[in-house]
Amino acid sequence: MKDKNTYTQSELLDIMQKYNSTDRQIIKTNLQDVKKLYNFGNVDIVKDFGYKDEKVKSWFNKANPNIPIFEDVLRLAVHYGFDISELI
């Protein structure tokens, strides 16, 4: 049985293209929702991945255009158990 978060290479490429073309504010809003739903916070992300606090804060600050690069959001999804498609 295929795991719900297991993708073929072409499916992963499609998700990456959708992620990269989705409006940043939508991703920020959805990432905030995922963070609440899967019960993790900025401090957890900093601790679990060693990212700088300022970097993580910028992902959630609506005034800042920064979002996680696809590789970072993939790491978050695998670690915290959500599907990247929840962000797009």
Residue 8 lies in a domain: no
Check whether 5 has a pLDDT greater than 80. Answer: no
Residue 16 lies in a domain: no
Residue 62 lies in a domain: yes
CATH code of the domain covering residue 34? 1.10.260
Q: Which domain holds residue 81?
A: 23-87
Q: How many domains does the chain have?
A: 1
Whole-model pTM? 0.87
CA 14 to chain centre: 16
Question: Is 11:85 a contact under the CB 8 Å cutoff?
Answer: no
Check whether 87 has a pLDDT greater than 80. Answer: yes
pLDDT tens string 32-55: 999 999 999 999 999 999 999 999
Residue 12 lies in a domain: no
